[in-house]
Amino acid sequence: MNGIGAVIVAYNPDPEHFREVIAAVRPQVEHLVIVNNGGPLPANVDGSFESIECDGNIGIAAALNRGIARLLELGCRWLLLLDHDSVAPPGMVAGLQQALQQSGTGGDLAVAVGPAYYNAPMGRNAPFVRFGWLRLNYVEASADAPVIPVDFLISSGTLLTADAIARGGWMDESLFIDYVDTEWCMRATAKGYRLLGCGSVDMRHSLGDEPVEFLNKVMPGHSPLRHYYIIRNAVLVAIRRYIPLKLKCIILLSMTKTFLFYSVAPPDRGAHFRMMCKGLLHGLLGKGGPLPNRIQRQPISPASDRS
C-alpha cells in the first residue's frame, strides 16, 4: 500500500454507522488512527486501529494534527483524512493515490486530491469548486477528464502527501472547526501547490444535520454553536492576507446569507441569531480557539468543514 495511513476524527459517532466507516477504510490503508474528540468508540470492530483519546473536544483542526503526526511517526507517505460519517467505497484510496501520482510530471506540485461525494442529508451530489467573483463556480469531472484542478477540498476524503504537511503546514488549530480545510487549501495554493478533484471516485458523506427549508430555500442544518464558529471563522479567514480577493468576497457574501437565513428560518432562530452575533464580534476582535466550557456543552454537528 506504499505507506498509506488514515486518520478519522470521531465526535460522538453513531456506533453502527461508525463500524461501517471503519470496516470500509481499514482494508485500504496500512495504518488507521482514530482521534476521539468525544463519546465512546464502538466495540467489536472489524480491523485493527490505534486510538488517541482527547481531553474533551479539542476541535477538528487539532484532532487532525494529532492523527497526522502519529501517521508521520509510523512512516506514512500518504495521509487520508476522514470524518466519522464518511464511508470510503472499495478502491477509493488507491484511486485517489493513482490520480495524484499521475497528475503531472517531474516537479509536479499537486499535493492533495479529493473524491466526488454524495451529500446524504441534502440528497444530492456535491460538485467540485472553483472560485469566481461573488460566487462559487461548480465544475464536473468527465470521462475524458476524470481528474481536474480545483480550488477547494473538504477535509473528509482528502488524500494528502506527507510533503503537503511538511511544506504547506499543519491545520490551523485557532479555527477549531469550520473553514479549517478552506484556510489550509488557500495557504497551500498561495505557496504554489495544486489541488485536484477526482471524479472517478465517489464517497458518501454528510454535511450538517437535517436540512432546513424556508421559502423554497434549503440549507444544511447546524446547531447555534456551530453557527458561532461558521460566522466567526468566516471573518478570521477573510482578513488573512493570502486569501484571494475573490474568495474574501465569496466568504463575506456567504456569511451574510447564512446570518440572514438562520436568523429567520429555524424554530430556535433566536439562539442562532445570538450565537452568530457573538461569532461576528469575536471574529472582528480576532478571537480564535474554542468557546468556554459553559457554551461548549452545546452540540456541534459532526460534519466536515465547509466553505
Walk along the chain (307 residues) and give the pLDDT tens digit of each residue: 569 999 999 999 999 999 999 999 999 999 999 999 998 888 777 778 999 999 889 999 999 999 999 999 999 999 999 999 899 999 999 999 999 988 754 445 888 999 988 766 555 677 899 999 888 998 988 888 899 999 999 999 999 999 999 988 999 999 999 999 999 999 999 999 999 999 988 887 665 566 787 777 777 788 999 999 999 999 999 999 999 999 999 999 999 999 999 999 989 999 999 999 999 999 999 999 999 754 444 445 544 444 3
H-state helical runs in the chain: 15-25, 60-73, 92-101, 162-168, 180-190, 224-238, 245-262, 269-285, 293-296
pLDDT for res 216: 73
Residue 228 is placed in which grid cell? 458561532
* 171 DSSP 8-state letter: -
Domain residue ranges of the chain, discontinuous segments joined by +: 209-296
Instruction: Answer for the pair 180, 214: CB distance below 8 angstroms, yes or no.
Output: no
Q: Could you tell me the pTM of the whole model?
A: 0.89
pLDDT for res 118: 75
Return d(Cα 186, Cα 180) in angstroms, integer.
10
Residue 14 is placed in which grid cell? 453513531
Within 10 Å of residue 200's Cβ, how many Cβ atoms? 16
Within 10 Å of residue 140's Cβ, how many Cβ atoms? 12
pLDDT for res 28: 96
pLDDT for res 2: 67
- Measuring CA to CA, which residue among 68, 77, 83, 36 is closest to residue 203? 83
CA 254 → CA 26, 28, 99, 228, 300, distances in Å?
36, 36, 31, 14, 20
- Residues β-bridged to residue 197: 114, 148
| Torsion from C-alpha of 126, 131, 132, 136, nearest 10 degrees | 20
